[in-house]
Structure formats: structure tokens, C-alpha cells
């Protein structure tokens, strides 16, 4: 097994991301070389998913995976985010062939749960897997699961704000981040994390994976560099459409920059979606 850089977090029904960095994968990152950054938006074909309140949704995990008990929530955020991402990259026909029904939030959540199981088994650094252990997974693990299923050709990493914005020009990006207690209740009409008072002082509740689907606003400083405070990301979460702004939240690049050492960015992609 390669020498991985692993940061583990407590897994709950809402949070289940671990940060796992493989130096072999990081070697494939493409440094930012000054490309102009523009606002961009990617629309998932699936409804907003909900990894919580599974029983209320009629989801019986015991019927989805052998050896699983029925649970009301799973720390399956990596797979939920990856399901939103793959629904952007692939056509409806491709997704149907892969068993993903884009018309039903329940069916898509069930598909994501299967992907979560796959991702936990591909996180070889972990002694546990789901079912039956809700052990969480990583952005790297779920990217491997998508590739193994033939749904993506490759995946790459970004390690700077500029690389993230550059990659968003070509498609959505999976973001793994520490999740602060104050972030559970985003405030303001646009659910901007920056607007939460003293969020930095609140405890870290765990690790969470989300899907960055838009670069809503891009601002530059007078010297030509990105203005982190005024450049805004929109992020799809997996806690139902009633959370945040229709299931989404926003953060400035300044928040990303403040947490950069604790965030990992993975972009599963198809060769056809890459524009140079």
C-alpha cells in the first residue's frame, strides 16, 4: 500500500468524509498557468439527495445491501456528492444504463448508497466497510469507485484556489472539508458561510463531502490575481432540498483559502469534458 496521508473524522449520519491523499494521484495535478477564470454553472440532473431520514423516505438499507440493517442515516456524503457530479457528466441514457434514475430522489439516494458501499471497500487503508460498518469514505475512494464502474475515465486533484476555479471551467468538483458546528445552519438568503458569525470559533463536527457546482461570481484584484473574498462558489449538499438555499450553500474562496490545508479537491471527469 502506498504511503497515504490520512486524516480521519468522526462519522455520523450527516458527516462521513475522511481526507485521504495519495502522492501518486497528486502527481497528476495540473498547475494553474494563468488561464482566465469566468463564472460557470453545472446543473445536476438528479434532485437534491438526503442521506438522513432514510426511513421516512421509504429507503430500507437492509433491502439494498446484504448484511445491512435498516438505518435512518448514513455517513455517505462522498457518494451522495459523487452521484450529483456523475449526473452532470453523463447523459440520461448513460445514467439509466448504470441504474441511476434521475427522476426520483429516493431511487437516486438508493443508488448513492450502493456507491457508498463500493467506495468504502476501495478505501483500502480502512479495516472497515459498509455494510455493515458506517465507517465513512473519502473523495479519493469514491473517485476510484466511479472509475471502476466505467463512469469516468480519470480523476485529478486541485490544491490551490486558482486550480479549483480553473477546473470548474470544465466540470463540477468534489470538495472534502472539515465541517464546523456553526455551518449546520447557514444564514442569509443566499446561505453564505461567510455570513455566519464567528464560525471559526465553533468546534469541528466532522468531515463532509460536497459537490461544487458553480463559480457564481469572479472578482479580480487590481494586480490581476483572484479576489478571494469576492469570488463565490455554490455547493450542492446532500441534506434535502429544504436545507440551505434549495439544498445548496455558498462560500467565498477566502473560506477555502483559510481551510486549504484541511480540504481536498477531486475532479472525476471524462476526457470529452476537458477543454484546454
84-124 residue pLDDT tens = 999 999 999 999 999 999 999 999 999 999 999 999 999 98
pTM: 0.95
Check pLDDT > 70 for residue 276.
no
Specify the residue for cell string 436545507: 243
- For 5-24+41-269, CATH number? 3.90.70.10
Handedness of CA 152, 130, 234, 240 (dihedral sign): positive
pLDDT at position 3:
85
Q: Tens digit of pLDDT for each residue in 121-170?
A: 999 899 999 998 999 999 999 999 999 999 999 999 999 999 999 999 99
131 close to 68: Cβ distance less than 8 angstroms: yes
Give me the residue spans of the domains in the chain.
5-24+41-269
Handedness of CA 264, 138, 81, 133 (dihedral sign): negative
Rounded CA-CA distance 244/186 in Å is 6
Rounded CA-CA distance 81/48 in Å is 10
Amino acid at each position: 500500500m502506498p504511503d497515504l496521508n490520512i486524516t480521519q473524522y468522526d462519522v455520523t449520519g450527516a458527516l462521513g468524509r475522511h481526507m485521504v491523499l495519495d502522492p501518486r494521484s497528486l502527481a497528476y495535478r495540473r498547475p494553474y498557468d494563468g488561464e482566465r477564470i469566468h463564472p460557470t454553472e453545472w446543473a445536476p440532473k438528479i434532485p437534491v439527495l438526503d442521506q438522513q431520514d432514510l426511513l421516512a423516505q421509504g429507503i430500507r438499507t437492509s433491502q439494498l445491501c446484504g448484511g445491512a440493517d435498516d438505518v435512518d442515516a448514513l455517513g455517505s456524503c462522498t457518494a451522495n456528492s459523487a452521484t450529483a457530479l456523475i449526473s452532470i457528466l453523463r447523459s440520461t441514457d448513460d445514467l439509466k444504463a448504470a441504474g441511476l434514475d434521475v427522476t426520483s430522489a429516493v431511487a437516486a439516494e438508493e443508488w448513492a448508497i450502493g456507491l457508498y458501499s463500493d467506495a468504502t471497500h476501495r478505501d483500502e487503508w480502512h479495516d472497515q466497510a459498509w455494510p455493515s460498518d458506517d465507517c465513512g469514505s473519502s473523495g479519493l475512494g469514491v473517485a476510484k469507485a466511479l472509475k471502476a464502474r466505467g463512469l469516468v475515465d480519470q480523476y485529478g486533484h486541485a490544491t490551490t484556489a486558482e486550480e479549483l476555479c480553473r477546473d470548474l471551467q470544465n466540470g463540477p468538483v468534489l470538495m472534502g472539508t472539515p465541517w464546523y458546528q456553526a455551518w449546520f445552519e447557514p444564514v442569509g438568503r443566499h446561505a453564505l458561510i461567510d455570513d455566519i458569525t464567528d464560525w471559526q470559533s465553533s468546534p469541528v463536527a466532522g468531515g463532509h463531502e460536497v459537490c461544487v457546482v458553480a463559480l457564481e461570481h469572479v472578482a479580480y484584484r487590481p494586480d490581476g490575481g483572484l479576489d478571494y473574498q469576492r469570488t463565490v462558489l455554490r455547493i450542492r449538499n446532500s441534506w434535502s432540498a429544504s436545507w440551505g438555499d434549495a439544498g445548496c450553500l455558498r462560500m467565498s474562496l477566502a473560506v477555502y483559502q483559510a481551510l486549504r490545508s484541511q480540504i481536498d479537491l477531486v475532479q472525476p471527469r471524462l476526457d470529452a469534458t476537458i477543454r484546454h
